Amino acid sequence: MEDISSILGLFFSDENNLIYENIRFSTDISEEKKEKLKILPFKFLGPIFLTAATEKDDNWRINFIEASLSLHQERNMNRNVIQSFFTLNSTYSSPDGITDLFTLIGSPYTEDIDMIDNKITKYIHPSIIQGKIIKESILGDDFSFKDFIRDELNRGINLIQHGLGSSRKMYWKEQQNYYCIGIIERIVSESNSNTYLYTFEKSNPIRKKILSFIPSYYVMIIIPNFYENLINETLRLFDKSNVYPNIREINLKSNTKEILYVEEFLKENGNKKSYGFILIPEINDSEFNRSLSYYKKQLRLLLDGNENIFKFLYKINPHFDITKWGANSEAELDLIEKELDS
């Protein structure tokens, strides 16, 4: 995988919230951008706000983020253009605390994510944890964790890079059933952007039940914009100005729960409209559990067919309300937190 056509970073965060990074970039990046790249790990690992925003003990974390990359119309096609951007997070719990190993990859290919995830969780992370224990016992006070983790991250990034270019396979997840708890609409033009949420009516008992399965509606509605903007900023730092990102999937996990957000977009006349489903694993005895492939198909039908959003809401989940919750100002976000997260 050539430097000119790739983005590759591997970050490690320990129990003391110290972050170490290895980011590969081409030699023609300016010194100013190199300094800004050093802040990237803090931004991508930053959503510790999940726990703070929810005031819950679920320890929600961002497990996976994927964006497709589209070519700006005014740019010429180039064989080195990257087409996908994704991140993977591996969390390891031990008596010493919780550590995270996080990678970001921009690639010209649709990579085999499961294979990369297996390398991170089964080889790289255990190597760091076990190697630290062994070297500490041998070297004692002479052990330098900074030097150790630098070598481990370099070894890990070599292992990831060596396997890049393997095409993604179709996995059983497409047929796993989910229950939709909300729809996010995002409209972006050259002058402004607007985000809206559709979900259950605030007095609906289903909404109150759903709150135990998610960090909060407040968190869920700000995540897509947050990461799409962050990925766009990352692309610019790597001089990838010929493409722009479109969020496709975000996966959140706690110790016992999971949320999947899937999104599709359509761009016309310079404006981009996208719809995304907030999904949780199927609910017992509900007739509205659907496969992931079903939800993805419905997103395309909504965007391509100009279907009425209110009829669409009823089809996806008849319990949804037609109320449109704006998320375009602090006041609107505060209202969502006050009315939907209580």
Spatial separation of the C-alpha atoms in residues 189 and 301, rounded to whole Å: 22
Q: What confidence category does residue 4 fall into, taking pLDDT thresholds of 50, 70 and 90?
A: very low
Please state the rounded mean pLDDT for residues 292-297.
92
Q: What would the mean pLDDT of 187-205 be, rounded to a whole number?
A: 91
Average pLDDT over every residue of 277-288: 89
Cα–Cα distance between 307 and 326 in angstroms, integer?
21
Domain limits, the chain: 3-59+79-162, 172-340
Quote the pLDDT of residue 3: 45
Average pLDDT for residues 36-65, to the nearest whole number? 71
Arithmetic mean of pLDDT, 71-76: 62
For 132-188, write each residue's pLDDT tens digit.
Answer: 889 989 998 899 999 999 999 999 999 999 888 877 765 556 678 999 999 999 998
What is the mean pLDDT of the segment spanning 18-34? 81
Percent of the chain with pLDDT over 70: 89
Q: How far apart are CA 227 and CA 314, in angstroms?
A: 29
- Spatial neighbors of 225 by CB under 8 A, at least 6 apart, are 186, 193, 195
The average confidence (pLDDT) of the chain is 85
| CB contact at 8 A, 198 and 313 | yes
Kindly report, residue by residue over 225-246, the tens digit of the pLDDT: 999 999 999 998 888 878 889 9
- DSSP secondary structure string for all residues of 119-172: HIIIIIHHHHHHHHHHHHHHHGGG--HHHHHHHHHHHHHHHHHHTTTPBPPP-G
State residue 2's pLDDT score: 45
Task: Answer whether 180's CB lies under 8 Å from 284's CB.
Answer: no
pLDDT value at 54 more than 70: no
Distance, CA of 192 to CA of 293 (rounded, Å):
32
- The Cβ of residue 95 has, within 10 Å, a number of other Cβ atoms equal to 5
What pLDDT was estimated at residue 55? 52
145 residue type, one letter: F
> Is the separation of the CB atoms in 327 and 187 below 8 Å?
no
Pairing of the two strands 177-188 and 19-24: unpaired
- Whether the CB-CB separation of 210 and 200 falls below 8 Å is answered with yes
pTM of the model: 0.89
Instruction: State the architecture of 3-59+79-162 in CATH terms.
Output: 2-Layer Sandwich (3.30)
The secondary structure of 247-307 as a DSSP string is EEEEEEE-SS-EEEEEEEEEEETTEEEEEEEEEEEPPTT-TT-EEHHHHHHHHHHHHHHT-
Over range 25-33, report the average pLDDT. Answer: 76
| Residue 49 pLDDT | 44
In Å, how far are 195, 270, 319 from 335, measured between CA atoms? 14, 31, 21
pLDDT of 76 over the 70 cut: no
**pLDDT tens-digit profile of 112-129?**
888 899 999 889 988 998
Q: What is the pLDDT of residue 80?
A: 57
Return d(Cα 111, Cα 69) in angstroms, integer. Answer: 13
The percentage of residues in the chain with a pLDDT greater than 90, rounded to a whole number, is: 48
